[in-house]
Chain A
Amino acid sequence: MGIEVEKKAGFDTESAKEVVKELRASFVAGKTKTYEWRRTQLTAMLKMMDENEPQIVAALTDDLSKPELESSIYEIAMLKNSCKLALKEMKHWMMPEKAKTSLTTFPSSAEIVSDPLGVVLIISAWNYPFLLSLDPVVGAIAAGNAIVLKPSEISPATASLLAKLVKKYLDCSCIKVVEGSVPETTALLEQKWDKIMYTGNGRIARIVMAAAAKHLTPVVLELGGKSPVIVDSGIDLQVATRRIIAGKWGCNNGQACISPDYIITTKDYALELVDSFKCELERFYGKNPLESKDLSRIVNSNHFARLLKLLDEDKVSSKIVYGGERDETNLKIAPTILLDVPQDSLIMNEEIFGPLLPIITIDKVEDSFDLINYSGAKPLAAYLFTNNKKLKEKFVEKVSAGGLVVNDTTVHLAEPTLPFGGVGDSGMGAYHGKFSFDTFSHKKAVLYRSFAGDAAVRYPPYTAGKLRLMRALLGGSIMGIIRALLGWSKP
């Protein structure tokens, strides 16, 4: 414990330089490139999880009071699936992709080769500290890179456990964990990385990208936003309500980047929706949700105070239709629903990231789209509950977000065939499944030619005849080429 604390205190620019130097030496020595190495690391990760599930659950309980089911399913099982998929598909992903060549370079063949980028930095978040740390690492390993992982200090038990487990199970000469907060992260960001992947908020993301710019380091930024849920009428309200609750309070008590942030529904439907929520919320969390063991707490007092500020704002506190209870000692806020808060309230102008759910009402359900686009900030996710085919089409056409789900919330995260990432303020780049492999790879174009068939047409001295023929060749039309060869095309 003493040594760990010393290390943390002393991690400065020099230490960061050393770490990068060591990883770069490992990378250059080719350690991370072999299929075998990648396999062993991913297999080790699976073993790590198999042998440490209770410890991981305990750390998540420490940091977030995360319910065991959420830890087990949404962090550990998802990560396991990620490893398993990579192990299964990696050989295929690593194969060069043949590319068709054209008449212009005939005879030739071409392929796109996936190269590791080199030494990558992964900066993780506090809300799914296990998943959001190691899921990107899975991609980086599969693509053959050396890695530094910087877990969030706001979930310290998990950060500490990650450091311990990575050291024990993975190849430390190629994969390292650096714990710390602003000073350590700053020291890391001064170094030259081949890629930086950051999960978190827009303010820090700007700092990360500006630091990356100094070294022309490409970045993936997984951010957030206000993910809206449009609820149409004429649907199975019970199922819809349950799915919204599962995506909101069932996901770390609303502290998830793709949690439903707020609801939009019609004036006519609002009360029915509120009643359905009240009913299902009680079914899920009982009459005293502050005592339910199935809800994460608010991560720390900063965020607790932040959320209360949103809730207790003058024109907002009167709009509570359900919940509002809080327990400061245990950092708990009950599931809270608000109806018709003003557009200019704080709660409608920042990502909530907590157990408060405003419902905005409109006249016609089609008005939702303008409301969503009103702020100009594209969210990470957007949801629609409807049976109306045309409304679905309009939704997909008009709403720009990282990802959309019709008739559910958050589950698209679990589909490895879908790229997971934001757009605009919600981020850039994507990962999951093969997208993770691609994001940590350089797609290198390779063209093979032979010495045969060298056309003097491209060489100086340039003549009118050569120009005609080159034009025809580039045009790709056989007739054009013949005409040029016979001297028939215009100069």
Chain B
Amino acid sequence: MGSQSEGKAVFDTESAKEVVKELRASFVAGKTKSYEWRVSQLTAILKMLEENEQPIVSALRDDLSKPELESSIFEIGMLRNSCRLALKEMKHWMKPEKAKTSLTTFPSSAEIVSEPLGVVLVISAWNYPFLLSLDPVVGAIAAGNAILLKPSEIAPASSSLLAKLVADYMDGSCIKVVEGAVPETSALLEQKWDKIFYTGNGRIARIVMTAAAKHLTPVVLELGGKSPVIVDSDIHLKVATRRIIAGKWACNNGQACISPDYLITTKDNAVKLVDSLKCELEQFYGKNPLDSKDLSCIVNSNHFDRLLKLLDEDKVSSKIAHGGERDETNLKIAPTILLDVPKNSLIMKEEIFGPLLPIVVVDKVEESFDVIKSCGGKPLAAYLFTKNKKLTGKFVAEVSAGGLVVNDTTVHLAEHNLPFGGVGESGMGSYHGKFSFDAFSHKKAVLYRGLGGDASLRYPPYTPGKLRLLQALLSGSILRIIRALLGW
């Protein structure tokens, strides 16, 4: 512990330079390129998870009071699946992809080769500190890179455990963890990386991308936004309500990038929806949700205060339809529903990232799309509950978000055939499954030609005849080629 704090205290630009230098030397020496190394590292992560489930659950409880089921399934289970998929598919992902060639370069063959980018920086978030740290690392390993992971200091127990486990289980010459806060992250961001993968908020993302610009480092930014849920009428309301609750409060108590942020429903449907939510919330969390063990706490007093500010704003506090209770000592806020808050309230302007759920009411359900568009940047996710096929079609056509789910919330995260990422304010780039491998690879075009069969057409001296024939060849029209050859 002593040396770790010493280490933390003095991690400056020099230390950052040294770390990058060491990782680059490992990469250049080819350590991370072999299939065997990649398999060994992914296998090591699986072993790490297998042998340390309890310490991980413990750390998450320390940092977030995260319920065991959420830690076990949404952090460890998902990560395990990610490793297994990579182990199963990696050989296939690593293979060059054949590309068809055209008449223009005949005879030739071509392929697209995936090569590692080199030395990559993964900056993680505090809300799913294990998953959001190691899931990108899985992709970076599968693609053959050397990696530096910087976990979030806002989840210190997880950060510390990650540092220990990575040092214990993984190849320390190629995969390192640097703990710390702003000074350490700044020192890291000054260095030249081959890719930076950042999960977090828009403000820091701008800082990350600006730093990356100095070195022309490509970035993936996994951010957030206000993920709306449109609730139509004439649906299976109980199932819909449960799925909304599962995506909101059962996902780290609303502190998840794809948690439903607010609901939109029609005037006619609003009261039924509120009643259904009240009913199911009580089923899930009992009459005194502040006492429920199945809800994460608010991560720290900063966020606690931030959320209370949203809740206690004048024109908002009167709109509470359910909940509103808070326990400052234990950093708990009860599941809270608000009905018809004003559009210009704080709670409708920033990403809530907590257990408060405003419901916006419209006359006709189609008006929801305008509400979403006027609500700031494109969100990371958007949800719709409906049985109406036309409405579904409109939703998919009109709503721009990272990802959409119809008749559920958040579950698209678990589908590895879907790219997971944002658009506009919610981010750039994506990952999960093969998309992770691709995010950390350079797709190198390779064209093979033979030295026989050389057409002198392209060579000077340029003549009108050559020009005509080249134009014909490029147009691909046989007739034109014949005419040009015959001098017509």
Is B460 in contact with A419, judged by CB distance below 8 angstroms?
A: no
| From A223, A249, A419, A444, contact of B445 by CB (8 A) | A419
Is A400 in contact with B239, judged by CB distance below 8 angstroms?
A: no
Is A99 in contact with B415, judged by CB distance below 8 angstroms?
A: yes
| From A236, A403, A408, contact of B444 by CB (8 A) | A403
Contact stretch, chosen from A109-117, A171-179, A302-310, A325-333: A109-117
Is A445 in contact with B402, judged by CB distance below 8 angstroms?
A: yes
Task: Convert B92-130 into 0s and 1s, putting 1 for each residue whose CB lies closer than 8 angstroms to a CB of A.
Answer: 000000011110110010101101011000000000000
Asked if B446 is at the interface (CB within 8 A of a chain A CB), the reply is yes
| From B102, B117, B387, contact of A416 by CB (8 A) | B102
Asked if A44 is at the interface (CB within 8 A of a chain B CB), the reply is no
Task: Convert A36-72 into 0s and 1s, putting 1 for each residue whose CB lies closer than 8 angstroms to a CB of B.
Answer: 0000000000000000000000000000000111101
Task: Convert B399-421 into 0s and 1s, putting 1 for each residue whose CB lies closer than 8 angstroms to a CB of A.
Answer: 01111111110011011111110
Task: Convert B440-451 into 0s and 1s, putting 1 for each residue whose CB lies closer than 8 angstroms to a CB of A.
Answer: 001111111111
CB interface residues, A 436-491, toward B, < 8 Å: 442-451, 454, 458-462, 466-467, 470-471, 474-476
Interchain nearest-CB distance for A14 vs B (Å)? 24
A78 to B405, CA, bound (A): 41
Asked if B343 is at the interface (CB within 8 A of a chain A CB), the reply is no
Task: Convert A203-235 into 0s and 1s, putting 1 for each residue whose CB lies closer than 8 angstroms to a CB of B.
Answer: 001100110111010100101000000000001
* Given known contacts A68-B462, A411-B449, A428-B218, A445 and B418 CB-to-CB distance under 8 angstroms: yes
Interfacial chain B residues near A417, Cβ < 8 Å: 99-102, 110
Is A474 in contact with B418, judged by CB distance below 8 angstroms?
A: no
* Given known contacts A105-B411, A461-B294, A205 and B216 CB-to-CB distance under 8 angstroms: yes
Is B451 in contact with A447, judged by CB distance below 8 angstroms?
A: no
Cβ-closest chain B residue relative to A426 = B216
A458 to B115, CA, bound (A): 39
A429 to B292, CA, bound (A): 48
* Given known contacts A102-B415, A462-B67, A240 and B245 CB-to-CB distance under 8 angstroms: no
Interfacial chain B residues near A416, Cβ < 8 Å: 102
Interfacial chain A residues near B101, Cβ < 8 Å: 415, 417
* Given known contacts A412-B445, A470-B73, A110 and B427 CB-to-CB distance under 8 angstroms: no
Interchain nearest-CB distance for A1 vs B (Å)? 32
* Given known contacts A467-B72, A474-B73, A216 and B112 CB-to-CB distance under 8 angstroms: no
A31 to B458, CA, bound (A): 41
Which secondary structure characterizes the binding site on chain A? mixed
Asked if B58 is at the interface (CB within 8 A of a chain A CB), the reply is no
Asked if B459 is at the interface (CB within 8 A of a chain A CB), the reply is yes
CB interface residues, B 32-74, toward A, < 8 Å: 67-70, 72-73
Interchain nearest-CB distance for B192 vs A (Å)? 9
Task: Convert A418-435 into 0s and 1s, putting 1 for each residue whose CB lies closer than 8 angstroms to a CB of B.
Answer: 111001110111100000
Interchain nearest-CB distance for B73 vs A (Å)? 5
Is B99 in contact with A400, judged by CB distance below 8 angstroms?
A: no
Interfacial chain B residues near A474, Cβ < 8 Å: 73, 77-78, 80-81, 414
Interfacial chain B residues near A411, Cβ < 8 Å: 104-105, 108, 447, 449
A221 to B405, CA, bound (A): 33
Is B105 in contact with A415, judged by CB distance below 8 angstroms?
A: yes
A102 to B446, CA, bound (A): 34
**Highest count of chain B CB atoms <10 Å: which of A424, A429, A430:** A424
Is B419 in contact with A443, judged by CB distance below 8 angstroms?
A: yes
Interchain nearest-CB distance for A280 vs B (Å)? 8
Interchain nearest-CB distance for A151 vs B (Å)? 23
A362 to B419, CA, bound (A): 46
A459 to B251, CA, bound (A): 11
* Given known contacts A105-B411, A470-B73, A209 and B209 CB-to-CB distance under 8 angstroms: yes
Asked if A246 is at the interface (CB within 8 A of a chain B CB), the reply is yes
Asked if B314 is at the interface (CB within 8 A of a chain A CB), the reply is no
Interchain nearest-CB distance for A144 vs B (Å)? 12
* Given known contacts A216-B206, A470-B69, A104 and B414 CB-to-CB distance under 8 angstroms: yes
Asked if A349 is at the interface (CB within 8 A of a chain B CB), the reply is no
| From B80, B242, B408, contact of A447 by CB (8 A) | B408
Contact stretch, chosen from B6-14, B358-366, B463-471: B463-471
| From B221, B416, B461, contact of A284 by CB (8 A) | B461
Is A284 in contact with B460, judged by CB distance below 8 angstroms?
A: yes
| From A68, A194, A250, A430, contact of B443 by CB (8 A) | A430
Task: Give the interface size bracket for B toward A.
Answer: 35 or more
A424 to B115, CA, bound (A): 12
Is A423 in contact with B401, judged by CB distance below 8 angstroms?
A: no
Asked if B194 is at the interface (CB within 8 A of a chain A CB), the reply is yes
Interchain nearest-CB distance for B159 vs A (Å)? 25
Is A216 in contact with B205, judged by CB distance below 8 angstroms?
A: yes
Interfacial chain B residues near A202, Cβ < 8 Å: 216
Interfacial chain A residues near B304, Cβ < 8 Å: none
**Highest count of chain B CB atoms <10 Å: which of A293, A458, A466:** A458
Asked if A402 is at the interface (CB within 8 A of a chain B CB), the reply is yes
**Highest count of chain B CB atoms <10 Å: which of A73, A202, A293, A476:** A73
A101 to B418, CA, bound (A): 9
A239 to B453, CA, bound (A): 9
Cβ-closest chain B residue relative to A76 = B471
Is A102 in contact with B239, judged by CB distance below 8 angstroms?
A: no
* Given known contacts A99-B415, A216-B221, A447 and B404 CB-to-CB distance under 8 angstroms: yes
**Highest count of chain A CB atoms <10 Å: which of B113, B402, B417, B456:** B417
Interfacial chain B residues near A113, Cβ < 8 Å: 396
Cβ-closest chain A residue relative to B245 = A459
Cβ-closest chain B residue relative to A383 = B447
Cβ-closest chain B residue relative to A294 = B460
Asked if A387 is at the interface (CB within 8 A of a chain B CB), the reply is yes
Asked if A150 is at the interface (CB within 8 A of a chain B CB), the reply is no
A68 to B468, CA, bound (A): 11
Interfacial chain A residues near B209, Cβ < 8 Å: 209, 212-213, 216
Is A415 in contact with B239, judged by CB distance below 8 angstroms?
A: no
A447 to B381, CA, bound (A): 11
Cβ-closest chain B residue relative to A414 = B104
A278 to B57, CA, bound (A): 72
CB interface residues, A 367-424, toward B, < 8 Å: 385, 387, 392, 396, 400-408, 411-412, 414-420, 423-424
Interfacial chain B residues near A402, Cβ < 8 Å: 444-445
Is B462 in contact with A466, judged by CB distance below 8 angstroms?
A: no
Interfacial chain A residues near B392, Cβ < 8 Å: 448
A467 to B53, CA, bound (A): 13
Asked if B236 is at the interface (CB within 8 A of a chain A CB), the reply is yes
Asked if B308 is at the interface (CB within 8 A of a chain A CB), the reply is no
Is B73 in contact with A467, judged by CB distance below 8 angstroms?
A: yes
Is B447 in contact with A403, judged by CB distance below 8 angstroms?
A: yes
A449 to B385, CA, bound (A): 10
Cβ-closest chain A residue relative to B81 = A474
Is B462 in contact with A459, judged by CB distance below 8 angstroms?
A: no
Asked if A242 is at the interface (CB within 8 A of a chain B CB), the reply is yes
Asked if A169 is at the interface (CB within 8 A of a chain B CB), the reply is no
Is A250 in contact with B459, judged by CB distance below 8 angstroms?
A: yes
A115 to B235, CA, bound (A): 28
Interfacial chain B residues near A78, Cβ < 8 Å: 474
Interchain nearest-CB distance for B325 vs A (Å)? 17
Interfacial chain A residues near B293, Cβ < 8 Å: 462
Is B115 in contact with A444, judged by CB distance below 8 angstroms?
A: no
Interfacial chain B residues near A415, Cβ < 8 Å: 99, 101-102, 104-105, 110, 445, 447
Interfacial chain B residues near A115, Cβ < 8 Å: 400, 423
Asked if A356 is at the interface (CB within 8 A of a chain B CB), the reply is no
Is A400 in contact with B115, judged by CB distance below 8 angstroms?
A: yes
| From B68, B115, B250, B451, contact of A407 by CB (8 A) | B451
Cβ-closest chain A residue relative to B453 = A239
* Given known contacts A392-B448, A406-B448, A442-B423, A69 and B402 CB-to-CB distance under 8 angstroms: no
Closest 3 CB pairs of A and B: A209-B213, A213-B209, A445-B403
Could you list some 5 contacts between A and B, CB below 8 A?
A73-B458, A112-B419, A417-B110, A445-B420, A446-B406
| 12 more A-B residue pairs beyond the given contacts A213-B210, A239-B454, A415-B105, with a C-beta to C-beta distance below 8 A | A68-B467, A78-B474, A202-B216, A235-B451, A387-B451, A400-B444, A417-B110, A447-B412, A449-B411, A460-B284, A460-B295, A474-B77
